[in-house]
Every structure is written in structure tokens, then in C-alpha cells.
Structure 1
Amino acid sequence: MPLFSSRTSRRPRIAPALDDEGLARVLGRLGKRGGSGRAPDVALVSAALEEAGHDWDRRGHRASVLAEATADTGLSAAWLGREPQNADALLFHSWTALARGLRDGRLEDAGQVVEQCHRAAELRPEDPLPWVVLLGVARVERFTQNDVNAVWREATGRDRWHREAYLQMLAYLSPEEGGSSAAVLDFVDVVRTRIPANAPCAAVEVTAAVRQYQGLLATGGVRAMTAGQLWDGGQVAAALDQAATLWAKPGFFQHAAAQADLNVLAYALCAAGRAADAHHVFQALQGVVTPWPWNVDGPALQRFEQHQAKAERGRQGGLGGA
């Protein structure tokens, strides 16, 4: 599927499927019927995951989006009830439980989710996704670091650069979820030089910087007033420079959530006072908006449009200031 067309930008809209047209069609059909547990809906989700085959990146994107879209319906339970020994049914049921758990701050039955992930892993040993879900469970249940490291090795041993695995680990280590800023920095330092520039997880360092920046703003006071200094020098500035140069180039990124990472980059460039540099990133996005990171200080679409307009003015005037 084409990534980052050069067509004129379209009106900003929230698009959970991003540029996955097949997934967008499934979401549209589920939305019309309310995502029930009826056989046709189960078949839609099953086919979407099966179609991705061993493209673990694409499978992970589809599973994550569909799990969030149907988390409050009976679809995953109906599927598992029909096919209790189906690896995809087990995976999807556990992922929908995780989606609810991350939203609500607790899992209804953590033991069941863990058991289902292990059973799915037994049925399809090569699949990293059950282990990725377990990384998410570790966030909610606050697994010990040793236990998390063991799950991490299982996930990345099957798909070394799996984007969702890196994001789940980053969140687990974050101070907002019981970790620390030092733990995040250590993680980023370890992976920084190993990750290929166009890997699915390439945005982990910029994502960590955006989370840190937003955390500083949330504290208020002097720390909030000086939050912009985060972008001024050192490794963070170098990472942002590289991303601004490479990520929006046609064909550079091929992973399923590339447009989500470009949203993070556009936000970071605007936060760093480099609105003009963000212009080509907004162009590449073609109006596809992800709720985070834009929604921390207002409606995501509104904030996206405001920054997009500022980027356009900055380009026309040759100004990159905030």
C-alpha cells in the first residue's frame, strides 16, 4: 500500500487504521453493525489477522487497532467460545482484555490473560505477539524487572524490532507508570545505536523525548517553563535532526504504524520551535491524525490543525519559531 503520497493534504481526521486500507474497511463494517459477536464480525477480524500472515508488524497493528475498537463488545469472547484452541482467538481475546486494562488501570482477570498468552504462544511458537501482550500486562500488574526482561527477550527474539514491544517496554519503564526517568534513559541509551534508522521501532527515542517533554509541562512551575530546553542540544536534538531529515521521505518507512510515528515527529518539531521543519512531515501525513500526542492539551484534531497552519506559515515566511 502506498505510503506518504505527494497529493495535496486532505482534511485532518482521526484514522485508527492509518494507511491500512484493508483494516479501514473492516473497521467500517464492524462500526455499522456495532462490532457484535455474530459470526460475520468474527470472520472479519479473523480474516484481517490471517491476511497479515507472518508480517508480525502488520499483524500487531491490526490486532491492536481491532482490539481497541471492539474492547467493549462481545466479539473476542464469542470468537474464543467458538474456537478455544485457535491461536488468533486466544491472542485477540487477551489483547482486548489488555486494551480495557490499560484504559481502566486494572485487568479483570490477569491470570486468565497470562494463561491465554502462553497458550497462544504454544500453538504458534514463532509469533511474538502473545509476548507483546504480556509486556502490556506487565505494565498494569507491575511485574518485576527480571520477569519483564524475560518477556522482552521472548518478544524481541521473535521479531527484533517490533514497534509495539518497544513502546510497551518504554511505558513500563516510565515514571508515570512506576518506573523512572533514569530507567527510560538507560533503555534509550542501550537501544539507540542498535536500531536501524528505518526499523519499525525507530521512533522509540523521539517518543521517549515527547513523553518526557509532556511530563515536564504537566508538573507546572519552573520545570514547565523550561521544558523547551529539552530539544536544544545533546542526543535528543541529534535524534530529532535525524528524524526530520529521513522519516518523511517517500518509501523510507514501510512499517504499519509509520504515520503514527510521523505524528510524534510533527509534534516534537513544533514543540522544539521548528514549525517550518515540520511542514514536510504534515504534508506526508495527508491529514491522518493520531490522538496522542496532540490530545494532551486540547482536542487532538484542533491542536493538529493549529500546528499544521503554523508550519505552513513558517515555511512561507522562512521562520521555524514557535
Structure 2
Amino acid sequence: MSLFRRIRSSGPSLRPELDDVELGRVRRQLKSPGLPGQNSIQVDQVERLLRETGTDWDRRGHRFAVLAEVAAPSSVARTWRLRRPQNPDAQIFEAWVELIRGGHAGRMEDPRSAADNCYRAAELVPEDPTPWVVLLGILRLIRAESRDTLAVWNEITARDPWNREAHLQMLRYLSPEECGSRSAQLNFVDTVRSLVPPTAPAAAVELTALVDEHARTTAGGGVEALLVRRQWTHARAVSALDTALREWSRPGGLEHAAAPADLNLLAFALVQAGRPGETAEVFRRIDGAVTPWPWNLLGDPLQEFTYWQSRVAA
């Protein structure tokens, strides 16, 4: 049984924390208007929440990602790092916040400084994959050489073989839109499929690649975009959907921190494949924790999710 309390939803909502109750509480407090002394209180809350995850690298990565996103517009990360310059979590958090800011802007102001924070944290906690995960994101954003990126990838997988964030970063790094090609991406997916257990945190890599291909084809327009649903009838796509339906629906099938995000992905893919009748149980397990992507490929994510959930229920 998980030590982390999970949210029971009263209805669909965009919830970056997914089903992590404590993470949601701290995220909301980080979004609250600043008051005298509020910054210091927020630092204490972030520090405590991340410390509580211990060596649960999966939960730890999820919490870092959500908190870094919400803290990016504020000075919380810098305040924490200046207050505790030898705290590895503070160093990782500031680097992750800088990565988030760089992702929004399309470039990082000082990638070397953020990378140095990662290296210092890695020296202090050599068993932790998290600083290497942030470093991989930095290398992806600056379009680093594949040699350097692969070296960091190896550091991560040596510590956490099925790290979800790292697998998704590598998938996008190897895409034709970034530093790879369609064949490089497919080769990576094939390797993941052969190695990763079907319910591991990185199990959604193949479905993510299929949805990325769907979005790529749709954005290209023309006849191919009109016939995009045909992609979901290919043997590779059918096999990926069937495996996810079979493995993820079992009791205890998906237990990692971002499981609701993967279930959103599966529900979306089934809808696009013309198999909405098989999504009822998937929607039930999502329990209202809606993720912006991939529903935003269709329009407003909450409206699209609610529409398809209602259609399946009817």
C-alpha cells in the first residue's frame, strides 16, 4: 500500500499533482498571493515535502516536476538555495526551475549554472538519479551532442532503470523535431518495449510516441491528416493499445506517481483509434484527474475529456 494519500475526485479537473494529496496542498500554497514571510514558509513546505519521499525516486521526480512548474514565476527556488547552499534538493530544485523557465522561453539564460547545480547535487547524493534527470532536460533544451546526452542517460538508468521522466525526455530528444529522426525514435521505442516491464513508470513510452506521431500527422495537414485514424489500425498501434488495456487494468497494474497521466494518454489513444467503448474503466480509474496533454490536441482539455467521458458513459 502506498504511503502517500490519494485524492478522490468529485468531478473532472486539471490537477497537475494528479492523485497526490500533499503535493496538491503545497502546490496551491505556492500559487497563493505573497504575504510577509510567505516566501520562507513556502520554502519550508517544499523542503519537507521533497524530503518525505526518501528514496522513492519515482514519487520524488513527480513532486519535483510539479513544484518546479508552479514555482517558476517566483523566487522560492533561489531563496531556498541561498538559505541552504549545501542542500542537494535546493540545488536540484533551482536547476529544475531554470529548466522550466527555459522551456517556456525557448532558451535558458544560464544553462551552465543550472548544470553546475546538478553536478554538485549529484556529488552530494550519488545514488539519486534526480540531478541527472534535470541535466538530461537541460541537454535536450540546448540541443546537446548525442554523445553527451547518452552519457547522462546512462547515469540515470544505472540508478533508476525505468525512470519515467528520463524516458520521455529521450523520446522527444530523438524525435525528428529535435536532435533525431523518426527511425531513431522508433529504434528507441523498440528497445524500451523489449526491456521495460509493462507496468513500470516508463511503460507509456510507446503510446506517447504513437500520440506524437498522430499529432505530427494532423499538424501536417492534407490527405494524411484526414486519414490519421488509419495509423491506429497498424499492428504496432493495436498491439500497444491491447497491451496497455490488458496490463494497466489489472489490480495494482499501475502504481507509479504519474499513473493517472498515463491513463489519460490511454483514454485519448483509444478515442482516436475509434475504440471509445473500451475506455469506460480507464475513465473510471482516472477519477477526474485530467492532464492538459494530450487532450489539448483536440481543443480545451477539460471540455474534451468531459465530452468523451460522457459519451462513453452514455
TM-score, length-scaled by structure 1: 0.92
Q: Which has the higher contact order (CA 8 A, sep 6+)?
A: 1
Aligned to 2:90: 89
The percent of aligned pairs where both chains have the same amino acid is 48
Displacement of 1:42 in angstroms is: 0.3
Displacement of 1:226 in angstroms is: 2.0
Other structure's SS at 1:72 match: coil
Aligned to 1:28: 28
Displacement of 1:248 in angstroms is: 3.2
Aligned to 1:105: 106
Seen in structure 2, the aligned counterparts of structure 1 residues 94 and 37 have a Cα distance that, compared at 3 Å, is farther
- Measured against aligned partners, the alpha-carbon deviations of 1:96-154 in whole angstroms (never above 9, x if no partner) come to 00111112211110111111111110111011011111111112100111111101000
- Distance, in Å, in 2 between the alignment partners of 1:185 and 1:17 is 30
- Measured against aligned partners, the alpha-carbon deviations of 1:47-81 in whole angstroms (never above 9, x if no partner) come to 11100000000000000000001101000000011
The one-letter amino acid of 1:24's match is G
- Measured against aligned partners, the alpha-carbon deviations of 1:76-101 in whole angstroms (never above 9, x if no partner) come to 00001111111000000000001111
Displacement of 1:297 in angstroms is: 2.8
- Distance, in Å, in 2 between the alignment partners of 1:143 and 1:34 is 37
Aligned positions of 1:116-265 closer than 5 A: 116-265=117-266
- Distance, in Å, in 2 between the alignment partners of 1:217 and 1:282 is 25
Aligned positions of 1:249-288 closer than 5 A: 249-288=250-289
- Does the 8 Å CA contact 1:37/1:75 hold for their aligned counterparts? no
Displacement of 1:2 in angstroms is: 9.0
Aligned to 2:301: 300
The one-letter amino acid of 2:107's match is R
Other structure's SS at 2:119 match: helix
Displacement of 1:203 in angstroms is: 0.6
Displacement of 1:250 in angstroms is: 3.4
Runs of 4+ off more than 6 Å: none
- Does the 8 Å CA contact 1:37/1:74 hold for their aligned counterparts? no
The one-letter amino acid of 2:237's match is V
Displacement of 1:279 in angstroms is: 1.2
The one-letter amino acid of 2:293's match is W
Displacement of 1:270 in angstroms is: 0.3
- Does the 8 Å CA contact 2:174/2:181 hold for their aligned counterparts? yes
Displacement of 1:28 in angstroms is: 2.3
- Distance, in Å, in 1 between the alignment partners of 2:73 and 2:235 is 44
Displacement of 1:229 in angstroms is: 1.4
Aligned to 2:14: 14
Seen in structure 2, the aligned counterparts of structure 1 residues 81 and 169 have a Cα distance that, compared at 3 Å, is same
- Does the 8 Å CA contact 1:266/1:281 hold for their aligned counterparts? yes
Structure 2, unaligned stretches of length 5 or more? none
Other structure's SS at 1:177 match: coil
- Distance, in Å, in 2 between the alignment partners of 1:105 and 1:28 is 26
- Measured against aligned partners, the alpha-carbon deviations of 1:153-198 in whole angstroms (never above 9, x if no partner) come to 0011110001111011111111222422111101001111110111
Seen in structure 2, the aligned counterparts of structure 1 residues 186 and 81 have a Cα distance that, compared at 3 Å, is same
- Distance, in Å, in 1 between the alignment partners of 2:271 and 2:106 is 31
- Distance, in Å, in 2 between the alignment partners of 1:177 and 1:14 is 28
- Distance, in Å, in 1 between the alignment partners of 2:58 and 2:230 is 34
The one-letter amino acid of 1:109's match is D
- Measured against aligned partners, the alpha-carbon deviations of 1:196-245 in whole angstroms (never above 9, x if no partner) come to 11101111111111111111111110121121111112222101111112
- Does the 8 Å CA contact 2:200/2:254 hold for their aligned counterparts? yes
Other structure's SS at 1:142 match: coil
The one-letter amino acid of 1:276's match is G
With 262-271 and 180-189 compared, the bigger mean Cα shift is at 180-189
Displacement of 1:249 in angstroms is: 3.3
The one-letter amino acid of 1:300's match is P
Displacement of 1:31 in angstroms is: 2.5
Other structure's SS at 2:225 match: helix
TM-score, length-scaled by structure 2: 0.94
- Does the 8 Å CA contact 1:37/1:78 hold for their aligned counterparts? no
Other structure's SS at 1:81 match: helix
> For the aligned residues, what is the CA RMSD?
1.8
